[in-house]
Amino acid sequence: MRSLGRKGSMKMNIVYHGKTKTFHLYNEKISYLMCVLENGHLGQLYCGKRIHDKEDFSYLEEKAPRPMASYLYEGDRTFSLEHLKLEYPVYGTTDYRHPAVEILQENGSRLSNFQYESHEITEGKPKLFGLPATYTESETEAKTLCVTLRDSVTGIRLELFYTIFASEPAIARSARITNQGRHAVHLLSASSLSLDLPDKDYVWMQLSGAWSRERYVKNRPLEQGILAIDSMRGNSSHNHNPFMALKRPGTSENQGEVLGFSLIYSGNFRIQAEVDTWDTTRITMGINPSCFDWKLEPGEPFQTPEAVMVYSDTGLNGMSQTFHRLFGRRLARGYWRDRPRPILINNWEATYFDFTEDRLVEIAKKAGECGVELFVLDDGWFGKRRNDRAGLGDWAANRDLLPGGIGGLSERIEALGMKFGLWFEPEMVNKDSDLYRAHPDWILATPDRTRSHGRNQYVLDFSRPEVVDHIYGMMEKILSGATVSYVKWDMNRSITECYSAALPVDRQGEVFHRYILGVYSLYERLTAAFPKILFESCASGGGRFDPGLLYYAPQGWASDDTDAVERLKIQYGTSVCYPISSIGSHVSVTPNHQVSRNTPLHTRANVAYFGTFGYELDLNKLSEEETQEVKEQISFMKEYRELLQFGTFYRLKSPFEGNETVWMAVSQDKKTCLVGFYRVLNGTNMPYSRVKLKGLNPDMLYVDAETGREQYGDELMNLGLLTSDVTAGEIMGNMKPSMDFESRIYILKEKEQ
């Protein structure tokens, strides 16, 4: 029997037991078992908490005769694929459940029979060509298994990739399908991940919503039948995020088992749980098979996007922290990956389209005096863009507004001691633009059909390399001719009439995916050419807040809704999968432009601290008292932003379950802790309250920076942090009042010896 290894040794391995044809992927936290079945297919045996390795797990391959089943072998009433747990299933040869792959062949058949041919175990992790994916910086960080299967009739080769990380309970999966036959075939579906689980005793959790209320936490128990989320909008969407978790009914934020699934992709996707009437659960995730049809000529491969599966037996916080570490350090890349993000001010809600260069400099000057580090010029600086009906696609500065162009404005901003950032929406075009007039065939549009618009704009056909080349040329010219430190990349509508004039009839089912590949290629070229520019992804706020874009842009605008109360839910839900360093969060004006709510300035900042932090207003319009408060906020963020953005984050009380929200961040050395406490509606004569903290050093003595109270870590975690205020009783005398939309930040530091 193999030892589990000493705690902290980070033992990791991929073992193949030849006698039983069993694969075991494991580290100190997770095990994943599969085997080669007697028909050559791959069978799933176990996925969960780490178990000892041994030669034989064949008893997990349970078989029994069942009425109405179909069987592969004459005289054998036990071997039915319908009643086995499979690793990458196909439909139609005794399995009646939804398949992982479907291929239309020349003779009209859709049957496949992928049988084991070989496997290879390598150190590290290979790159995925043209697609974002997790990565390693040394070969000791991970091991990768590639299992090769082949269909002997069509000659198609299927390669299944599994990467297990040394220090994380996570496995990355993808598939590559290569046509090594003599005839072209059509790939109708190809999952990135398929996983059969032995029971249905799970609660399905998803992150869903709409514009201005993205990534709300939704829960429902699994039951026999199909449960799914997807997007058919051409982008991952505001509606459903490409993430799902299965948690046991008793699992909470801090205890219990959960499996998390995330798809590193920015286009149409589908995540599905199919529970059969024997309570086996099949999870599939990948590119949405609706409207997908990829023609594979002989010799051509197709690579699926990567899916990441995370296991936790320490609740949802444990799962989230794994995603935070993995996505923050081994998905996000480049110069800004590990650097605290600059505090910025964006002019959009301060001016919209109504600005001049001098007005912009006036806003920037005041912001600089308050300590802001980066000024961002949003929409309206290019072409004839004085409203949302013209100019998109003409990426050259409007000299009537900016006499010195972008270069001249960036010099003026830099002279104030600040960095300069710029907004683009490179995937879109207005009909009233020079680009559209020159190339009306460059938009996605179906012949003889209505051309729908969104925000008076149309989607450029990024499946065409010449379109991507043209946009790159304009953006590269702007960025090379000015001192630009930040780019906000927006995308303000979903795709309709998805048809490319450049592709033949039998390849129109490829347009959605080719479009996303075009977006990725433009990101790749720009980030390579300008490695020190901080890119922030945006899609009318959170319409494409997904792991695919995190590979190119280490932060994303979480939502166009900047109201602090709404942001509690948005940022809470976002943190379920995404690191705090990726969450774009700003302080905006009141009444809020999205919900017309008035919230205190300190609460707006206290929510925005737990993200990248910035301002979405004109600081010249604040009172002297408010301006001083802004200066103090900026000073606070500069002192603690590394902890806030890269510390260990815990969710303690959910805005979806009550009137209060509490979350916290702990420094890596556990010497400093910040607790965010938020109460939506005020109360009177309320109960006393306390919150049990997490992740502290139990033997460390902490001091509350405001009260001076001293408490050991074990006390704070087991008895709790006192959060009672004047609402616990009656306000009398000079007691500090409380109000609706109240909040506080508790600062706890190790006591100096």
Given pLDDT bands bounded at 50, 70 and 90, which one contains residue 478?
A: very high
Rounded to an integer, what distance in angstroms lies between the CA atom of residue 203 and that of residue 198? 15
Is the pLDDT reported for residue 245 higher than 60?
Answer: yes
Active site residue 560: yes
Residue 169: cis peptide before it, omega within 30 degrees of 0: no
The pLDDT, as a whole number, for residue 453 is 95
Is the pLDDT reported for residue 5 higher than 60?
Answer: no
Beta bridge partners of 653: 662
DSSP 552-609: T-SEEE--S---HHHHHHHHHHHTTTS-GGGEE--EE-SS-TTT-----HHHHHHHHT
- Cβ-proximal residues to 614 (8 Å cutoff; 6+ apart), any chain: 343, 344, 345, 346, 372, 374, 584, 585, 586, 587, 608
Classify 192 as helix, strand or coil. Answer: strand
Please name the residue ranges forming H helices in 416-464: 434-438
Mean local confidence (pLDDT), 141-156: 98
Backbone angles phi, psi at 323, to 5 degrees: -60, -40
pLDDT per position as a tens digit, 495-553: 999 999 999 999 999 999 999 999 999 999 999 999 999 999 999 999 999 999 999 99
Q: Give the class (CATH, top level) of 660-750.
A: mainly beta
The pLDDT, as a whole number, for residue 7 is 39
* % pLDDT > 90, the chain: 96
Rounded to an integer, what distance in angstroms lies between the CA atom of residue 358 and that of residue 404? 12
- Cβ-proximal residues to 454 (8 Å cutoff; 6+ apart), any chain: 492, 493, 494, 496
Please name the residue ranges forming H helices in 440-529: 465-480, 511-529
Whether 238 and 216 have beta carbons less than 8 Å apart is answered as: no
Is the pLDDT reported for residue 736 higher than 90?
Answer: no
Compute, in degrees rounded to 10, the torsion defined by CA atoms 722, 728, 731, 737.
50
Mean local confidence (pLDDT), 28-41: 97
Mean local confidence (pLDDT), 328-351: 97
- Cβ-proximal residues to 720 (8 Å cutoff; 6+ apart), any chain: 690, 691, 692, 693
Rounded to the nearest integer, the mean pLDDT of the chain is: 96
The pLDDT, as a whole number, for residue 753 is 81
The pLDDT, as a whole number, for residue 190 is 98
529 CB neighbour count, 10 Å cutoff: 13
Outline where DSSP puts E strands in 344-457. 344-346, 374-377, 419-424, 428-429
Residues 495, 501, 502, 508, CA torsion sign: positive
pLDDT per position as a tens digit, 542-581: 999 999 999 999 999 999 999 999 999 999 999 999 999 9
Out of 2.60.40.10, 3.40.630.40, 1.20.1050.10, 2.70.98.60, the CATH code matching 85-330 is 2.70.98.60
The pLDDT, as a whole number, for residue 737 is 81
Is the pLDDT reported for residue 8 higher than 70?
Answer: no
DSSP code, position 727 = T
Mean local confidence (pLDDT), 454-459: 96
**Buried b / exposed e along 455-494 (16+ C-beta atoms within 10 A):** ebbbbbbbbbeebbebbbebbeebbeebebbbbbbbbbbb
Given pLDDT bands bounded at 50, 70 and 90, which one contains residue 375?
A: very high
Is the pLDDT reported for residue 6 higher than 50?
Answer: no
The pLDDT, as a whole number, for residue 735 is 74
Rounded to an integer, what distance in angstroms lies between the CA atom of residue 41 and that of residue 476? 49
DSSP 623-670: -HHHHHHHHHHHHHHHHHHHHHHHSEEEEEE-TTSSSEEEEEEE-TTS
Rounded to an integer, what distance in angstroms lies between the CA atom of residue 747 and that of residue 446? 58
Residues 503, 509, 515, 518, CA torsion sign: negative
* Per annotation, catalytic residue among 230, 432, 490, 561: 490
Given pLDDT bands bounded at 50, 70 and 90, which one contains residue 3?
A: very low
Instruction: Spell out the domain ranges in the chain.
Output: 85-330, 344-646, 660-750
Is the pLDDT reported for residue 730 higher than 90?
Answer: no
Burial class (CB in 10 A: 0-12, 13-18, 19+), 633: buried
- Cβ-proximal residues to 189 (8 Å cutoff; 6+ apart), any chain: 99, 100, 101, 102, 286, 287, 289, 292
Mean local confidence (pLDDT), 117-131: 97
Q: Which of 31-40, 60-69, 135-144, 317-326 has the lowest mean pLDDT?
A: 60-69
* Per annotation, catalytic residue among 560, 561, 563, 725: 560
Q: Give the class (CATH, top level) of 344-646.
A: alpha beta
Is the pLDDT reported for residue 191 higher than 90?
Answer: yes
Q: Which structure tokens are listed for 12?
A: 């990791």
Given pLDDT bands bounded at 50, 70 and 90, which one contains residue 734?
A: confident
The pLDDT, as a whole number, for residue 685 is 92
Beta bridge partners of 13: 26
